[in-house]
Amino acid sequence: MKKSTIRAINASIKHWEKDILKPLQDGHKVVGGFFLKQWDNGDRVHCYDIDCPLCRLFGPDCPQCPLKSCGRGSVYEKFTINPNVRTAKAVIRKLKSLLPKEQT
């Protein structure tokens, strides 16, 4: 796996832990629909492709992304349908599973 991909996965993990999981654990709620998720304080939830280091690295070339899919049945889709601590942790677990064993 390329170093740039490993860096993007690690950046994605840090992003999800800090910007998604931590607010949920602090009691914040996600409001809004699929295309406009906000925190209960009105701030945008940073859970879209423009926020994703992997999406920024691979662009629209999803088949080259180690995550392979953020679509139907993916942990990301499950988070977008039901944003909570459990589904955020599932995204983080999936991202961590992508790292080469020597990186974990």
Q: Contact at 8 Å (CB) between 48 and 36?
A: no
Q: Domain-by-domain residue ranges, the chain?
A: 3-103
* pLDDT score of 49: 81
Q: Rounded to the nearest 5 degrees, what angle is found at the Cα of 77, between the Cα atoms of 75 and 78?
A: 60
pLDDT at residue 103, as a whole number: 60
pLDDT of residue 15: 94
Q: What is the pLDDT of residue 61?
A: 67
* DSSP letter string, 48-87: SGGG-HHHHHHTT-GGGSTT--SSTTSHHHHHHHS-SHHH
List average pLDDT for each run of 10 residues in the chain, which is 104 residues long: 93 95 96 82 87 86 78 86 94 94 68
Is the C-alpha dihedral spanning 9, 38, 72, 56 positive or negative?
negative
**So what's the pLDDT on residue 95?**
94
